[in-house]
Structure 1
Amino acid sequence: MARVGWVESPLQLVNAVEYAAAVGDPVHLCLRAGVPQLGDTGRLFAPSLPRGVTMSGPWRSATRSPMTMARRRLIGDANSGQLRVLTTFTGARDLVVVDDGSGTLSLARRLAKGLPLARHGKQESALHRVLGAAASVRMRTAAEDGRLTVFTAYPEADAVGALRSLGATVVRNDYSWLRSSAFVTDAADAEHVVVGSALVDDGYLDADAYAAWLAGLAREGGVTYLPHRRERRESLSRWAQIDGVDVRRPVLPIEILLAGMPGVRRVTTLPSSVVATLSTLLDASVHLDVTHVPEQWFTSRADRSVRELLEDVVNRGRSSAAA
């Protein structure tokens, strides 16, 4: 019987397919409705999916998808409200967790310490906190019973190592499937690409400081800006008004677009989950420049957990590049 996955973002889709390709596990992926880029990525992948991998959707709810009855599951965002409900009331059973950006490290840290599941830096309702606590117990028990697998680009992270000590299986994601695939995209070429960040729109970074950073990069030569999928239209309009910044609105994940830009020589990013993926995917001739976030850029909403998580993402990305 195929493992059933609930996919809510393009990155989750990439990592779910990578898992299936790496371990040879038949997987049926349920794609969530209403997620920008997800349908386009699914259509691009469809002709090249590994044997045993199928997709369906779009599904508006995990509770109305094949996930509900599945005993073998795959998820990316355990903090999703729908998945908290499923995990709380139906158990973790046989569960695989794939990376959903930096949220994976936050999840691992909370499970390892026995803390409730919660989105870092976010105020949650009482119901979400109750579900987060219950789902955390279910998943930690699954780890202790050997029923939890973490498929990640951050296998060396301390929190992930702590989960391994609990009994979870940890499998490294080296993006072999994506690196071996030659997807044809309509991405225009670029020499210097800046990977956009949602930290401004999430309320963690000062917009003026971010704009000044972009302007400084543009003064060194024109840059192509590939937005994060959560960046708002108003923010992108502001960045596009900066001299030398060419904002493009991609319909595919950044990792796939960069693979289709053979002229790229430099990629600049703030601390982000793309540090680990791009460290693996980019050609050795491409310089990956990770900009440290100065203290004065942070807003009051960026608490200690947010700042530590950003630093952890960068450190683990560098470890992945050195591995």
Structure 2
Amino acid sequence: MLNVLEWAYADALRAAGRAAGTGSGSVVPAQGAGRAEGLSASGGGVGGDPQGGAAAPAARPPHRDGGAVTVVVLSPNDPMTRGQLRRMAELARDEGFSVRWEDARGGAGAPFQTIGALAPALRRARRIVIGDPFSRYVQLLLTLARARELVVVDDGTATMEFVSQLARGERLVRWHRTGRGGGARDAVFAPISAVARRRLTPREGRRTVEVFSSMPVEPPDGVLVTANDFAWTRARFGPPSITRGADLVGTSLAETGVVDLDRYIGAVGALARTHGATRYFAHRRESAEKLKRLSEETGLEIVRPDLPLELIARRGPIGRTILSFPSTVVHTLPLALAGTEVKVAVCDIDPAWLTDTASPRAQGFLSGVTGTARDVHRLPSVPAVAP
């Protein structure tokens, strides 16, 4: 959802330079926070203004006319992600957008009802913006689309993998998947995924593809990359108040089966002691049991953010140093905190922390996330010992 707002902000800046009333007519199925899909409709879409005119810049960050854009949130079931999305929906409304909440995973029939309701708008759309091309929900929606313009909105480290797989012509698989096959369900869904990948491939004269991202990506021929520099976040919030201490950012690498839980907790404790960290900003997918253990064994104050960390940090207060393992935030926080005195430091993942079931690509991918980060301080991995 945050990156949808960033895209809308950047798009409005571009549109403000065009003649009034030229309209974009776009429909935006986007991944919100925590891979929660959403749909925005502009110009004849879901509840949209049929003219789709662009709003002129204002003193506050510019955006499209609130009557022209509707954001439809296809809510996940995870309570933490739902909570963040509720708060982001409030911010979207503050910016003038209409927000429609869909419990798209609320039962066996919910996906069919949601897709049926969105199908007409998707078929009419000239432009579609998605946030997570790996999402089966989004891939299914793409099979209904005939848009001439497709935009992939920043979804963090997943964007790096998506662009690489698109360039190589590979099927779309998340980096932390083992590659050992997903059984009958993957086999059944394979034709839909293949259609979605073709939709995300540019075709001269028929379809353009753009990637709006803060991540360092090398696009294949024909794919345009536009930088997401978190201009909306910086214009809307801050600068933050800065404390003297350090804050540590959590990851869900243990939950996804990449890193051993005991090793991870030991590494968090070592980092906290070395750098004087006092707070631990939990990832939305970290379990309550894991966080309880982290609190007891490291003494860190556990913070469950109700907004994406880029907004939490920009609003403040935030530590003078932010410590992180390889993750999206080592790329996004330096952008969101540009012009402040906050230092972002990243600690590499020791290969000894990886589980036996981790994907063979895991170490190389995580090293790439760290190695391509700009404006961060590199820290050596801490000893791989259990607490």
TM-score interval (norm. to shorter)? 0.7 to 0.9
Which secondary structure does the structure 1 equivalent of 2:363 belong to?
A: helix
Measure the CA separation in 2 of the matches of 1:260 and 1:205. 31
Q: Paired residue for 1:150, among 203, 211, 214? A: 211
CA contact (8 A) 1:95 1:147 kept: yes
Q: Deviation digits for residues 196-234 of structure 1, max 9, x if unmatched?
A: 101011000011111111111232324211111111112
Is residue 135 of structure 1 aligned with residue 196 of structure 2?
yes
Measure the CA separation in 1 of the matches of 2:147 and 2:175. 22
Q: Deviation digits for residues 108-149 of structure 1, max 9, x if unmatched?
A: 111111111222333432123332222112211458845211
**Cα 1:265–1:143 shift into 2, 3 Å:** farther
Which secondary structure does the structure 1 equivalent of 2:319 belong to?
A: coil
**Cα 1:7–1:134 shift into 2, 3 Å:** closer
Larger Rg: 2
CA contact (8 A) 1:117 1:135 kept: no
Which secondary structure does the structure 2 equivalent of 1:242 belong to?
A: helix
Measure the CA separation in 1 of the matches of 2:102 and 2:244. 33
Which secondary structure does the structure 2 equivalent of 1:6 belong to?
A: strand
Structure 1, unaligned stretches of length 5 or more? none
Is residue 41 of structure 1 aligned with residue 88 of structure 2?
yes
Is residue 227 of structure 1 aligned with residue 282 of structure 2?
yes
Instruction: Find the counterpart in structure 1 of residue 305 from structure 2.
Output: 250
Which secondary structure does the structure 1 equivalent of 2:201 belong to?
A: helix
Q: Say how many residue pairs are matched.
A: 308
Structural mapping, 1:13-32, within 5 Å = 27-32=69-74
**Cα 1:142–1:84 shift into 2, 3 Å:** farther
Measure the CA separation in 2 of the matches of 1:149 and 1:67. 22
CA contact (8 A) 1:112 1:140 kept: no
CA contact (8 A) 1:4 1:30 kept: no
Instruction: Find the counterpart in structure 1 of residue 251 from structure 2.
Output: 197
For 1:46, the aligned partner's letter is R
Is residue 289 of structure 1 aligned with residue 342 of structure 2?
no
Identity, in percent, stands at 27
Measure the CA separation in 1 of the matches of 2:195 and 2:326. 31
Residue 305 of structure 1, CA deviation: 2.4
Give the aligned CA root-mean-square deviation in angstroms: 3.3
Is residue 9 of structure 1 aligned with residue 53 of structure 2?
no
Instruction: Find the counterpart in structure 2 of residue 90 from structure 1.
Output: 145
Instruction: Find the counterpart in structure 2 of residue 180 from structure 1.
Output: 235
**Cα 1:320–1:269 shift into 2, 3 Å:** closer
Measure the CA separation in 2 of the matches of 1:23 and 1:313. 31
Q: Which stretch shows the higher mean deviation, 78-87 or 289-298?
A: 78-87
Name the one with the larger helix percent.
1
Q: Which stretch shows the higher mean deviation, 268-277 or 296-305?
A: 296-305
**Cα 1:236–1:115 shift into 2, 3 Å:** same
4+ residue segments displaced more than 6 Å: 20-26, 187-190
Measure the CA separation in 2 of the matches of 1:181 and 1:9. 19
CA contact (8 A) 2:242 2:316 kept: yes
Q: Deviation digits for residues 264-314 of structure 1, max 9, x if unmatched?
A: 201001110111111211244111110011110111232232333222322
Residue 2 of structure 1, CA deviation: 4.1
Measure the CA separation in 2 of the matches of 1:67 and 1:89. 7
Is residue 260 of structure 1 aligned with residue 318 of structure 2?
no
Is residue 63 of structure 1 aligned with residue 115 of structure 2?
yes
CA contact (8 A) 2:245 2:278 kept: yes
- Between 1 and 2, higher relative CO (CA 8 Å, sep ≥ 6) is seen in 1
Measure the CA separation in 1 of the matches of 2:244 and 2:98. 34
Q: Which stretch shows the higher mean deviation, 31-40 or 3-12?
A: 3-12
Residue 24 of structure 1, CA deviation: 6.5
Which secondary structure does the structure 2 equivalent of 1:300 belong to?
A: coil
Measure the CA separation in 2 of the matches of 1:146 and 1:8. 21
Structure 2, unaligned stretches of length 5 or more? 1-23, 41-53, 55-60, 105-110, 378-387
Is residue 104 of structure 1 aligned with residue 140 of structure 2?
no
Q: Which stretch shows the higher mean deviation, 83-92 or 261-270?
A: 83-92
Which secondary structure does the structure 1 equivalent of 2:297 belong to?
A: coil
Which secondary structure does the structure 1 equivalent of 2:212 belong to?
A: strand
* TM-score normalised by L of structure 1: 0.83
Measure the CA separation in 2 of the matches of 1:299 and 1:276. 25
Residue 69 of structure 1, CA deviation: 2.2
Residue 82 of structure 1, CA deviation: 1.5
CA contact (8 A) 1:102 1:313 kept: yes
For 2:343, the aligned partner's letter is H
CA contact (8 A) 2:247 2:277 kept: no
Q: Paired residue for 2:367, among 308, 311, 314? A: 311
Q: Deviation digits for residues 173-211 of structure 1, max 9, x if unmatched?
A: 1111111112799x9978311111010110000111111
